[in-house]
Amino acid sequence: MRQQKPGYILVLTVTLVSLLVVMVTQIFNRGSAYLAYTTTIEKREQAKMLAISGVRLALSQLYVKKPEQKQGKDEKPPSEEALFLKQVLPILNRWQTISVHQGGLDGDMKIYIACEDGKLNLNNLYDFEKQDFKGTKQEQEMFRKKILDKVKSIVHTDADLFIGLEKLFKKNRINDVTQLLERPEYIIFANKVFVKPDMNITNPEIVLTDLFTTWSQEDGIEPWMFSQSMADVLGLQGAARATIESKKESLQTWIKLFKPTVQWQQEWNTSLGKVYGVDYKTLPQGIEGMLATKFGPKVFSVVSYGIAGEIIQKVFAIVVRSGNSYGDIPYRIKKLYWI
Q: In b/e form, how buried is each residue of 161-190, taking b as 16+ CB within 10 angstroms?
A: bbebbbebbeeeebeebbbbeebebbebbe
Identify whether 156 is part of a domain. Answer: yes
Domains held by the chain: number: 1
Kindly state the average pLDDT of the residues 217-233: 94
Query: What type of residue is 172?
Result: N
Least confident range from 10-19, 75-84, 163-172: namely 10-19
The overall average pLDDT reported for the chain is 88
pLDDT for residue 140 is more than 60: yes
Query: How many C-beta atoms surround the C-beta of residue 295 within 10 A?
Result: 21
Surface-to-core class of residue 42, CB atoms within 10 Å of its CB (0-12 exposed, 13-18 middle, 19+ buried) = middle
Identify whether 119 is part of a domain. Answer: yes
Give the pLDDT band (50/70/90) at residue 219.
Answer: confident
Taking the C-alpha atoms of residue 240 and residue 226, their distance in angstroms, rounded to an integer, is 8
* Residue range(s) defining the domain that contains residue 270: 1-66+77-339
pLDDT for residue 327 is more than 90: no
Identify whether 71 is part of a domain. Answer: no
Identify whether 192 is part of a domain. Answer: yes
Identify whether 191 is part of a domain. Answer: yes
Could you tell me the pTM of the whole model? 0.86
Instruction: Please state, in angstroms and as integers, the Cα–Cα distance from residue 119 to each residue in 15, 64, 220, 230, 296, following that order.
Output: 74, 23, 9, 6, 14
Identify whether 224 is part of a domain. Answer: yes
The confidence score (pLDDT) of residue 217 equals: 84
Identify whether 90 is part of a domain. Answer: yes
The confidence score (pLDDT) of residue 324 equals: 58
Identify whether 13 is part of a domain. Answer: yes
Surface-to-core class of residue 105, CB atoms within 10 Å of its CB (0-12 exposed, 13-18 middle, 19+ buried) = middle
Taking the C-alpha atoms of residue 271 and residue 255, their distance in angstroms, rounded to an integer, is 9
The confidence score (pLDDT) of residue 180 equals: 96
Q: Which of 234, 225, 194, 213 minimizes the C-alpha distance to 125?
A: 213
Least confident range from 129-138, 174-183, 269-278, 313-322: namely 129-138
